[in-house]
Structure 1
């Protein structure tokens, strides 16, 4: 059965909240400098060096897109997990964790 828009938004919003909480913990624990802007289906993380990671919901496709300074990635919900369907980035949450560490040196945990 296809995912409804409501289900998509709930799943995506839950992940956005988990990421925000993990970043806020890293800010406290590691004295990290990260600006978090969450609005309109977009979660934008700006790091001390000015680089950004932008995570946004693509409602018509029921996908989550991630833009890092290393490239763009598209994740679709399959078999109970968000998987990259354009490259070999794998599962969404580990990818975001690795991307934040790679781009900013900040280690987060979920």
Structure 2
């Protein structure tokens, strides 16, 4: 994939994530500045998701550590766990919020 395709795909991921958070009714604040999306929780903890254009990856940092996601068969897959991006983010949000958050992936 070229740089333009990469940015289009990741921008869509960010949009889907924003929509999922909005639709969930959860109290997660989010902000996108440049290539970085920050999710902030009531306890002020954060999940930071950013584009890594040079690697064509999405990187995520949370209480659990740092994770890299590569685009495989039209899904973003974690190099450490093999988890799909949206499922992984939901699990991390549950941990940060201290409760299960209901949202569609």
The equivalent residue for 1:25 is 23
What CA distance in whole angstroms lies between the structure 1 residues aligned with 2:13 and 2:70?
13
Distance in 2 of aligned mates of 1:88 and 1:41: 24
In structure 2, the gaps of 5 or more residues are none
State how many pairs are aligned: 103
Higher helix share: 1
Q: Does 1:90 align with 2:83?
A: yes
- 4+ residue runs of structure 1 moved beyond 4 angstroms? none
Instruction: Measure, in 2, the Cα distance between the counterparts of 1:80 and 1:45.
Output: 24
TM-score, normalising length: structure 1: 0.86
Alignment counterpart, residue 13 of structure 2, candidates 12, 15, 25: 15
**Two-structure CA RMSD over aligned residues (Å):** 1.3
> Could you say if the C-alpha distance between residues 98 and 89 of structure 1 is closer, same or farther in structure 2, counting changes exceeding 3 Å?
farther
8 Å CA contact 1:76, 1:84 repeated in 2: yes
Selected match of 2:62 from 41, 59, 68: 68
In structure 1, runs of 5+ residues without a counterpart are none
Is the 1:100–1:107 contact (alpha carbons within 8 Å) kept by the matching residues of 2? no
1:37-76 residue pairs with structure 2 within 5 A?
37-76=31-70
Offset at 1:93?
1.2
